[in-house]
Amino acid sequence: MFKNINFAALILINMFKKIFRKADPEELGENFFKLINHDWMLVTAGTSENFNTMTASWGATGILWNKPIAVCFIRPQRYTYEFANREDFYTLSFFDHGHKEILNYCGTHSGRSVNKISKTGLTPIETPNGSISFEQSRLVIECRKLYADFLREEHFLVKKIVDQNYREKDFHKFFIGEITGCYEKT
């Protein structure tokens, strides 16, 4: 049931389907404008062997190439960026309001220097395709990367956005992922 990763975090294995039920993205009834912007989400990439997670409040869900997709935007200095770049899948995890402090922690500390799992009490759980989310999530979106690229300075049509958001020229890389699984807490 549990897998011990580096003696630092216990990961729930083979438990996902007992805790979450599969949902049709079209039937969700969620407001992703509000969810992403105000509730925030954890972007997690990696496997039970090695993963990292960070808070994100920029992103999107929609339809592209006739598929349900989600997009996240990750600056290259994030430790999570290394995992998102390397792995084929990532997850987006959403929580109820009681977990805001945890999300704030995961958005202000890097997995390079702290163990976010032991610091927050999050319980990693392996999703059906071997990605990682958290037992405390209320909604989990599994994504398979389809397309990734950096935002490019020369392509901004409103230059003020560059001045306001990219003083360090650390342009986000965006990851467009096909939503391969959408799960709600039972």
Ligand X SMILES: Cc1cc2nc3c(=O)[nH]c(=O)nc-3n(C[C@H](O)[C@H](O)[C@H](O)COP(=O)(O)O)c2cc1C
Site residues (CB under 6 A) for ligand X?
Answer: 40, 52, 54-58, 73-75, 78-80, 104, 107-112
Contacts by 14-20, CB closer than 8 A, 24 or more apart: 14/126, 15/125, 15/126, 15/135, 16/125, 16/126, 16/127, 16/128, 16/133, 16/183, 17/128, 18/186, 19/125, 19/135, 19/185, 19/186, 20/137, 20/140, 20/183, 20/184, 20/185, 20/186
Q: How far is the CB of 25 from ligand X (least distance, A)?
A: 21
Closer residue to ligand X (CB): 79 or 156: 79
Q: How far is the CB of 35 from ligand X (least distance, A)?
A: 12
Q: How far is the CB of 71 from ligand X (least distance, A)?
A: 10
Closer residue to ligand X (CB): 113 or 186: 113
Half-sphere exposure of 29 (CA within 13 A, CB side): 1
Closer residue to ligand X (CB): 18 or 112: 112
What's CA 78's distance to the chain center, in Å? 13
Closer residue to ligand X (CB): 48 or 80: 80
Q: Cα separations (Å) of 153 from 16, 84, 164?
A: 41, 22, 12
Residue nearest to ligand X (CB): 107
Q: How far is the CB of 115 from ligand X (least distance, A)?
A: 10
Q: How far is the CB of 80 from ligand X (least distance, A)?
A: 3
Closer residue to ligand X (CB): 14 or 104: 104
